[in-house]
Amino acid sequence: MELRQSLSDLIFSKGEMKHDIYYSTIDTFGLFRNVAKDIIAQLKERNKHTDKDMRFDFIDRGDFEFEIRFASDTLVFMMHTNIFEFSRNHEVMKSAYIREDPERSYCGVIQIYNFLTDSFLYQRDSDLGYMIGRVFINKEKHYFIEGKRELGMLYNNFNTSTISEESVQNIVESAIEYTTNFDLLTPPYDEVKVVSVGEIRNNFDKKSLVTAKRLGFRFQADTDV
């Protein structure tokens, strides 16, 4: 039996669309990589003229991941290899920009996570990191950001925001700014007052007792950080 033409058209149409979005996201991730590397190089150069022994590193983890380390913080940038669509209830879906062309709602995603640099240096595998933002890129290289404070509030005009070296520079700088201002707080006493013998023993391997910037505090819905 011959394959239905409508099914064949659907597969090729959607496949080509996702192919185009994937390579738009790859290009964008390359921009993020280059901009982040340049920022770290500038910070390293400035650090040479101080008497402070601060850490500034760019670490390439392959095609879809890299890290930047600055002072006590690390940002991990990860590109997802799949293509996503916003849910029907998402505010983006209500815009005229999407209604004019529903394919604009399909996006690649770049995620940005914040960790403590010491968590990596001392192999504290139980330590927690936080997603501080995720960047959605569509076939036209328009982007939308969901994120914390500096990121989420500044870059959410999907119909007018397009990826460029300048926009990526602003995003990376905003992520660094938010991270630097997102301080490590002591957890509530009652959350950490009990510890097992095993946890204390394992802590000598720097892997057991959890450290995170908001350990014991709500993060997802917070408004005061």
Residue 1 belongs to a domain: no
Report the alpha-carbon distance of residue 75 to residue 36 in Å, rounded: 10
H/E element holding 84?
strand 84-85
Whether 54 is covered by a domain: the verdict is yes
Phi/psi of residue 96, nearest 5 degrees: -65, -30
The per-residue pLDDT string of the chain (225 residues; one tens digit each, 9 = 90 and over) reads 788 999 999 999 999 999 999 999 999 999 999 999 999 999 999 998 887 788 899 999 999 999 999 989 999 999 999 999 999 998 889 899 999 999 999 999 999 999 988 888 888 787 888 899 999 999 999 999 988 766 655 556 899 999 999 999 999 999 999 888 876 656 566 665 666 666 666 665 544 456 655 543 333 444 443
- Which range marks the domain in which residue 80 is found? 7-183
Residue 69 lies in a domain: yes
In a domain, 210, yes or no: no
Residue 28's φ and ψ, nearest 5 degrees, are: -65, -40
Please report whether residue 198 resides in a domain.
Answer: no
Q: 3-class SS at 146?
A: strand
CA–CA dist 171, 175 (Å, integer): 6
How far is it, in rounded angstroms, from Cα 88 to Cα 94? 9
pTM of the model: 0.83
CB neighbour burial string for 181-196, b if at least 16 within 10 angstroms, e if fewer: ebeeeeeeeeeeeeee
The bridge status of strand 84-85 relative to strand 143-147 is: unpaired
Instruction: Say if 208 falls within a structural domain.
Output: no
Residue pair 10/51 in contact (Cβ under 8 Å)? The answer is no
Q: Which segments within 61-118 are labelled E, that is strand?
A: 65-70, 73-79, 84-85, 106-116
Q: Is residue 110 included in any domain, yes or no?
A: yes
Residue 193, domain member (yes or no): no
Residue 158 contacts residue 135 (beta carbons within 8 Å): no
| Structural domains in the chain (count) | 1
